[in-house]
Amino acid sequence: MTKSILLFLTMFAMTTLYSQTAYDKVDQFDIAKDNWAKVKLNDKYGFIDKDGKEVVKPIYDEIGQFDINRDGWAQVKLNGKLGFIDKNGKEIVKPMYDEIGQFDVVREGWAQVKIKKKTTFIDKNGVEVLVSK
């Protein structure tokens, strides 16, 4: 049996196993992040690794692709608020913002964020930066 067929059958079996025993849905591996698959349980999203270990609990309303806003981070949404998790599944920026812009657009190393009617910035470590007027 060729490697590609064996890999396909393994992924199919894992997806079927996980979706029937633990999750409502298991996406294909390596789409959002290498060696991870997005999972859905009770309309919440998280990630599992290729060993089936839950690396991000399915608590988020949405999880975006990694590396779009910032290298090694994925945007998450919880209760209508936005934040970020890192490539290890750790929450780096608590979901508290109404909007998050791209990094390096307004100023290098920063992303514009909005919370209620307040506009400020976060740096590449996820720390809110206060801007004096």
* Domain assignment of residue 101, yes or no: no
Instruction: Note the pLDDT tens digit of each residue in 91-108.
Output: 999 999 999 999 999 889
Positive or negative torsion for Cα 54, 52, 14, 38: positive
Q: How far apart are CA 81 and CA 111, in angstroms?
A: 16
Q: Where are the alpha helices (DSSP H) in 1-133?
A: 3-21
pLDDT of residue 12: 56
pLDDT of residue 18: 46
* Domain assignment of residue 71, yes or no: no
Q: Could you list the mean pLDDT of each consecutive 10-residue stretch along the chain, which spans 133 residues?
A: 57 50 88 93 96 95 92 96 96 97 91 93 92 58
35 is in which domain, residue-wise? 1-60
Positive or negative torsion for Cα 50, 52, 56, 61: positive
- The total number of residues shown for the chain amounts to 133
What is the number of structural domains in the chain? 1
* Domain assignment of residue 56, yes or no: yes
pLDDT of residue 58: 97
Q: How far apart are CA 49 and CA 29, in angstroms?
A: 8
pLDDT of residue 22: 84
* Domain assignment of residue 32, yes or no: yes
pLDDT of residue 69: 86
Which residues, including other chains, have CB under 8 Å from residue 14's CB and lie 6 or more apart? Answer: 26, 50, 52
* Domain assignment of residue 51, yes or no: yes
* Domain assignment of residue 13, yes or no: yes
* Domain assignment of residue 43, yes or no: yes
* Domain assignment of residue 21, yes or no: yes
pTM above 0.85, yes or no: no
56 close to 63: Cβ distance less than 8 angstroms: yes
Q: What are phi and psi of 65, to 5 degrees?
A: -70, 150
